[in-house]
Chain A
Amino acid sequence: MGIMKILIAFILLWPLAGFLFNGLGRNYWSKKVIAYKATGYIVASFIASIFAFMYVQDHGAVTVHYFDFINAASIKIPFDFKVDALSALFLLVITGVGSLIHLYSSAYMKEEAAPHYARYFSYLNLFIFSMLVLVLGDNYVVMFIGWEGVGLCSYLLIGYWFTNGNYNYAAKKAFIMNRIGDLGFLLAIFWIIVKLGSVNYSEVLTADSLAKLSSADITGITLLLFVGAMGKSAQIPLFTWLPDAMAGPTPVSALIHAATMVTAGIYMITRSNLLFSHSELTQHVIAIIGISTALLAATIAIKQNDIKKVLAYSTVSQLGYMFLGLGVGAYSGAVFHVITHAFFKALLFLGAGSVIHAMHHEQDIRKMGGLKSKLPITHITFLIGCIAIAGVPPFSGFFSKDEILAAAFAKSPIYWVLGVIGAAMTAFYMFRLYTTTFLGKFRGTADQENHLHESPLAMTLPLILLAIASALAGAIGIPEIMGGHHWLSHQLIPIVGEPIELGLSHSLEWTLIAVSVGIALVALLWAIAIYKKKTDEAPNTVVGNFFYHKWRIDELYNEAIVYPLNRFAGFLKNTIEKHVIDGAVNGAGKLIQYSARKVRLTQNGQVGYYILFMVTGIIVLFLLWFNDVPIFIFFNKLTQN
């Protein structure tokens, strides 16, 4: 207990110390000091996380109490943190992938001036801190603190290049969309407090408290929690911020899309799985929104030409799979996919960063091509990432995606069919991206070509490590039909219970795997065959155009929500406020002035006179009262009736 109290404090406080160190000292430290400190703090946190993880392996879950955040008016919200199998896994992913992203950033952001370099790393550290608070908190309010914290950090990092108006806009959009979700989360917390009087997991997530909740309560709470998850994890309809979030520096995208932020929604639902499993309606909603998001984002990704945008939509799509998993009750499958996705998506984004770095900030894949020979390490690691996300065995993405698809099939074959279609699209757009970028001939300028170079070790080392992880991480969840033990689902038994029995025969399961892998392979090879020779120019079909313009959802939101609300605000300001409310006040004032003139009171606009009147008025009132003049007799009469 005692040791864990110190260990957890270290895990949390190191990133916070890094934030303060670089934030306050931004004008003083050299870039070297800044990068070493920032990365060092996260690595230290990672090492502490490993110890915490091992401790939990031996001794089971641990909760530590520091002090009470709120203890007033019959509610008590402590600053309690808990490490159990679920949070320990997230700890490792966050600090592990986080460390690599920090290391990578130290080289990627080299061109920035020292104060901005420090600002960048302080935000990055704060981001990790917030995410750690989110997963370590032992109650919903502490989770919410981290929840809003990551929203803030994404705002700061997306708008890192703050002189660019569009980037600011993207940052603001991310924050506001997240806030809409946060409101849902907040209302869910209130609902829980009102019904159960506590927000601690150990009191909320029990059979006793389930008994106190009606099914309407459970559905209401879980739907509101899911609204929160929609915002943070970019699901329909709150997903449009995530692709825009690529306005930030590329390593930030890796951080947002892989290790932190977007996985928060999955974490929250997995954490609350007891509630979610008791609302069939919510589960259906989650599964349907998940698969719809997966497909919608995949169609958009197929038509994008910006390397980061393709990856951004692929994140939205992969998150959709995770929600499909949650919706069909495959909690450990969803967590599995979070972990594998963290590896390969971090890898892909960092690889994209390496490409952009080599191409001098060119992001349009149509102007790339043939980078294979110039960027050998980036190329091979990126390829591994593509294979992993496409679901080709034995790379990690295959195992996690397959687990979700099998559970989806058990729930409804329709989910499975749609899931396989999405997987095929994933394989297609990823290899479209890969082929256009790395194969064929170079299509950029001669100047760019001369400067093409492989990135420094600080950038390639994280790529290599992440590539290894992307290739091998499947080992933590090899299913029993393949002779594995599925270590991960055993780990998670204390949180999500025994893995659900799918009731599928082995031969059926093998068939499903064969079909989905087969389709993915066909899509993959097809993409290579097409894009080896040509690139996509501006889309010329109606459907292509529609996908290219992201289903015109941003435009729809603007027309249907943003502009009308803005006009409404203008109407309130210019018409209601000015003419109706203030008009009435001024009208009343004029009336008084008018009648005052009628009784020939002095009226010269000097406040002094009014104060004189006021004092006189008070005296008169007193006199009236002392003489018991009718005014109060009148009042008494009036009120006694």
Chain B
Amino acid sequence: MILVSFLFVPILAALLLLLIKDKKNAQWTAIIFSGITLVLACQMLCTNMVDFDKSWLPNLNSRFTLHADGLSKILILLTAISFPAIFIATAKNNFKQSNIFLSLMLFTQAGLMGVFMAGDALLFYFFWELALIPVYFLCSIWGGEKRIAITFKFFIYTFLGSLLMLVGILFLNAHTADHSFSMQSFLHANLTNGQQATGFVLFFIAFAIKMPLFPFHTWQPDTYEQSPTAVTMVMSAVMVKMGLYGILRWLLPLFPVAFMVHTHFMVVLSVIGILYASFIAIRQDDMKRFIAYSSIAHIGLMNAAIFTHTQIAIQGALIQLFSHGLNVLGLWIVADIIEQQTGTRSLQQMGGLAKKQPTLAILLVGFALANIAMPLTNAFVGEFLMFNGLFLLNPWMAAFAGVSVVLAAIYTLNMVQKVAYGEVSEKINTMQAPYKGAQAVLIVLLILVFATGVYPQPLFTLTADTLQQLFVK
């Protein structure tokens, strides 16, 4: 039942919010309900889960099956942490019709939760779209100046991916013995190598666009830049994980042969993407685009790690899914505080934050350290394991990808220098102390960053079953 509540609570809150016009009340509703989800998610960690299974669309032979293993749990946890954090941190941002805004956000949360739990391919597709559609509205109504054109591109791009995935799902369904959409039937579908390749490509493109993987990434910096930051946070911290989740949950188990055929190609593509995005991040002046490109590099590494098909790298990727979410969320919140107060995202116009607002600068440096995977931050654990797996596959791959370790230091420290150090710039000089709620969220996130960086064992334990399943065959 607890699994259903991850859908039920956000949807209930989303519907309730449609009736609450007052901004303050709407915000409290969103925070309280997402808080309840978080409490439930914590409870989930210490209970034994039972799959939820009910009839849904009998004439399509699709069932409402929810299932959660370690991979699902860690992403449910990330989703559950992110939403209240985002609601609190952005509570001071001004929106017209904030109840509708928050309602759409909560629909997205429900969709994301569904994606991470669905044990039925059609249900998976349903949630996949449920998570995306509210985001289109959020971007196109509350976004920046160029929102219409950008959202259009984002929509077409991701929709194209979704559609291919749907074709893939139907294609697989046609090859199952019982013509059902359940994970189990899909796993037992009898596919020739050629059919595997077709299915692989159809699913992969959807996931690659969602991550996004180089060269399918160009929608992302624009969308991040133009979206309201609360939405960007959802996309960047949680939504991009849909793609990686899809690969681990569906692509790898369903098309093992095609997967193995493509490992080297995919690793090379990802490594190119990592370096490419890292180089571009060096030259970004817009704080949001900077985080976008840095994130593309990090996601690329996770994709490369998964495609090494080594236990060690996939273990690294499993916990990096979570760690990256926290780290990037922290960076976004800092960026948002600065943008809200100074009205600029241009790094050129910043400088002197450490003098003007030392606490915020310290928090920024903390998340920057996680961004460059300093040891004892959470990102180090994941990256260490992932690079190790790459080395296992091919030492040269690890060496090339490893250049990004240096590049990450360059672009991140450039950013820190421009934002935090130097004399106080005109823009930064207008800054007040950040609002307490946002600061508290940042502190909690930073504590999590270091706590899971020093003692990551609980995350390993949480994801151990997924790792076992993936390598049992």
Q: Contact flags (1/0) for A339-357 with B, using CB distance below 8 Å?
A: 0000000000000000000
Question: Which A residues between 616 and 641 are near B, CB-CB below 8 angstroms?
Answer: 617-618, 621-622, 625, 632, 635-636, 638-641
Contact with A along B34-48 (1 / 0, CB 8 A): 000000000000000
The answer, yes or no, to whether A563 is at the interface (CB within 8 Å) is: no
- Chain A residues positioned under 8 Å from B156 (CB to CB): 589, 592, 610
Instruction: Determine the residue in chain B with the shortest Cβ distance to A181.
Output: B406
Say whether A213 faces chain B, with CB atoms less than 8 Å apart.
Answer: no
List residues 179-211 of chain B with CB under 8 A from any CB of chain A. Answer: 192, 194-195, 197-198
Contacts of B399 in A (CB 8 A): 187
Cα separation A231 to B236 with both chains bound (whole Å): 34
A482 at the interface (CB under 8 A from B): no
Residues from chain A with Cβ under 8 Å of B282 in the complex: 566, 569
Of B151, B171, B197, B387, the residue contacting A190 (CB under 8 A) is: B387
Q: With the chains together, A576 CA to B195 CA distance in Å?
A: 34
Count of chain A residues near B, Cβ 8 A: 68
- State how many angstroms separate the Cβ of B308 from the closest Cβ of chain A: 12
Contacts of A622 in B (CB 8 A): 60
Interface check A601, CB cutoff 8 A: no
CA of A329 to CA of B396, assembled, Å? 30
Interface locus among B2-10, B101-109, B368-376: B368-376
In the complex, the chain B residue whose C-beta lies closest to that of A581 is B215
Interface flag for A186 (CB, 8 Å): yes
Residues of chain B within 8 A (CB-CB) of A599 are none
Task: Provide the bound-state CA to CA distance between A141 and B376, in Å.
Answer: 11
Contact of A72 among B279, B385, B454 (CB under 8 A): B385
- Bound-state Cα–Cα, A566 to B284, Å: 12
Residue of A148, A155, A163, A589 near B375 (CB, 8 A) is A148
Q: Please tell me if the beta carbons of A187 and B398 are within 8 angstroms of each other in the complex.
A: yes
A172 in the interface (beta carbon within 8 A): yes
Size of the B side of the interface (Cβ < 8 Å), in residues, is: 77
The interface-forming segment of A45-53, A62-70, A290-298 is A62-70
Q: Which residues of A contact B166 (CB under 8 A)?
A: 618, 621
Whether B422 pairs with A163 at a CB distance below 8 angstroms is: yes
CB of A154 within 8 A of chain B?
A: no
The digit string for B139-175, where 1 denotes a CB below 8 A from any CB of A, is: 0100000001101110111010001001100110010
Q: How far is the CA of A180 from the CA of B399 in the complex (A)?
A: 11
In the complex, which residues of chain B have a beta carbon less than 8 angstroms from the beta carbon of A581? 215, 218
A186 pairs with B387, CB closer than 8 A: yes
Q: Which chain B positions have C-beta within 8 A of A159?
A: 421
Q: Are B467 and A176 in contact (CB under 8 A)?
A: no
- On chain A, the residues within 8 Å of B311 by CB distance are 73-74
Q: Identify which of residues 149-204 in chain A touch chain B, using a CB-to-CB cut-off of 8 Å.
A: 149, 152, 155, 159, 162-163, 165, 168-169, 172, 175-176, 179-180, 182-183, 186-187, 190-191, 193-194
Q: When chains A and B are docked, how far (Å) is the Cα of A77 from the Cα of B423? A: 43
Q: Is A614 an interface residue (CB 8 A)?
A: yes
Contact B402 A183 (CB under 8 A): yes
B52 within 8 A of partner (CB): no
Interface centre among B195, B375, B417 (most CB of A within 10 A): B375
Report Cα–Cα, A17/B376, bound state, in Å. Answer: 16
Write out the residue numbers on chain A whose beta carbons fall within 8 Å of the beta carbon of B280. 569, 572-573, 577
**Is there an interface contact between A70 and B375, defined as CB atoms closer than 8 Å?**
no
Q: Within 8 Å of chain B (Cβ to Cβ): is A115?
A: yes
B279 contacts A568, C-beta separation under 8 Å: yes
Q: Which of B360-405 contact A (CB under 8 A)?
A: 369, 374-376, 381, 384-385, 387-388, 391-392, 395, 398-399, 402-403, 405
Residue A585 is within 8 A (CB to CB) of chain B in the complex:
yes
Interface residues of B in 192-248 (CB under 8 A from A): 192, 194-195, 197-198, 215, 218-219
A75 within 8 A of B: yes
**Residue from A180, A190, A585 with most neighbouring chain B CB atoms (10 Å):** A190
Contact among B155, B197, B219, B464 for A610, CB-based, below 8 A? B155
Known contacts A68-B457, A73-B312; is-contact A162 B410 (Cβ 8 Å): no
Q: Is A71 an interface residue (CB 8 A)?
A: yes
A175–chain B nearest beta-carbon distance, Å: 6
- CA–CA, A577 and B423, complex, Å: 33
> Chain A contacts of B417 at CB under 8 A?
168-169, 172
The 0/1 profile, CB within 8 Å of A marked 1, for residues 401-418 of chain B is: 011011001100110010
Q: Does B455 contact A (CB under 8 A)?
A: yes
Is there contact, CB below 8 Å, between B152 and A605?
Answer: yes
A179 and B405 in contact, given A73-B467, A607-B152 (Cβ under 8 angstroms): yes
A183 contact from B219, B405, B413, Cβ within 8 A: B405
Please, how many angstroms separate the alpha-carbon atoms of A640 and B405 in the complex?
44
A475–B149 Cα distance when bound, in Å, is: 77
Q: How far is the CB of B433 from chain A (nearest CB, A)?
A: 12
* Cα–Cα distance between A202 and B283 once the two chains are bound (Å): 45
B406 and A176 contact, CB distance less than 8 A: yes
Query: Which one, A155, A168, A632, A640, contacts B194 given CB within 8 A?
Result: A640
Given that A71-B460, A610-B155 are known contacts, is A190 also in contact with B284, CB under 8 Å in the complex?
Answer: no
A186 to B133, CA, bound (A): 43
Chain B: CB-nearest residue to A167:
B421
Given A145-B375, A186-B405, answer yes or no on A582-B218 (Cβ-Cβ < 8 Å). Answer: yes
Note all chain A residues with C-beta closer than 8 A to B464.
72
Interface centre among A144, A183, A621 (most CB of B within 10 A): A183
Query: Which residues of chain B are within 8 angstroms of A169 by Cβ–Cβ distance?
Result: 417
Residues of A within 8 A of B194 (CB): 638-641
Query: Cβ of B352 < 8 Å from any Cβ of A?
Result: yes
Q: How far is the CA of A68 from the CA of B457 in the complex (A)?
A: 8
B66 an interface residue at 8 Å Cβ cutoff?
no
- By the criterion CB–CB under 8 Å, are A163 and B423 in contact? yes
B136 at the interface (CB under 8 A from A): yes
B414 near A632: Cβ-Cβ < 8 Å: no
B375 & A607 in contact (Cβ 8 Å cutoff): no
Are the CB atoms of B195 and A190 closer together than 8 Å? no
**A75 B312 Cβ-Cβ under 8 A:** yes
A611 within 8 A of B: yes
Whether the pair B421, A611 counts as a contact (CB closer than 8 A) is no
Q: Given A568-B279, A592-B156, A639-B195, answer yes or no on A585-B218 (Cβ-Cβ < 8 Å).
A: yes
Using A149-B375, A194-B392 as known contacts, say yes or no to A72 and B315 having CB atoms under 8 A apart.
Answer: yes
Which B residue sits closest to A24, measured CB to CB? Answer: B362
- How far is B422's CA from A625's CA once the two chains are assembled, in angstroms? 63
Alpha-carbon separation in the docked complex, A155 to B403 (Å)? 20
Q: Which of B149, B352, B385, B402 contacts A163 (CB 8 A)?
A: B352
B266 at the interface (CB under 8 A from A): no
Contacts of A518 in B (CB 8 A): none
B137 at the interface (CB under 8 A from A): yes
Distance between Cα atoms of A581 and B457 in the complex (Å): 41
B284 CB contacts on chain A under 8 angstroms: 573
Q: Please, what's the 1-or-0 string for A571-599, where 1 marks a CB less than 8 Å from any CB in chain B? A: 01100110001100110010010000000
- The distance from the CB of B147 to the nearest CB of chain A, in whole angstroms, is 10
Q: Decide yes or no whether A60 CB sits under 8 A from chain B.
A: no
Q: Which of A261-291 contact B (CB under 8 A)?
A: none
What chain B residues lie within 8 Å of A484 (beta carbons)?
none
Q: Which of A148, A568, A614 is the one whose CB lies under 8 Å from B374?
A: A148
Q: Does B427 contact A (CB under 8 A)?
A: no
Given contacts A194-B391, A585-B153, whether A635 and B402 have CB atoms under 8 Å apart is: no
The 8 closest A-B pairs by CB, nearest first: A190-B391, A72-B460, A145-B375, A73-B315, A582-B218, A569-B279, A73-B311, A639-B195
Beyond A187-B402, A193-B388, 7 extra complex contacts between A and B, CB < 8 Å: A70-B384, A75-B388, A179-B409, A183-B406, A605-B152, A607-B152, A614-B159
Q: Could you list some 15 contacts between A and B, CB below 8 A?
A: A70-B384, A71-B460, A73-B314, A148-B375, A163-B421, A163-B423, A175-B413, A176-B406, A179-B406, A193-B391, A573-B280, A589-B156, A636-B174, A639-B197, A639-B198
Residues of A within 8 A of B (CB): 67-75, 115, 141, 144-145, 148-149, 152, 155, 159, 162-163, 165, 168-169, 172, 175-176, 179-180, 182-183, 186-187, 190-191, 193-194, 565-566, 568-570, 572-573, 576-577, 581-582, 585-586, 589, 592, 605, 607, 610-611, 614, 617-618, 621-622, 625, 632, 635-636, 638-641
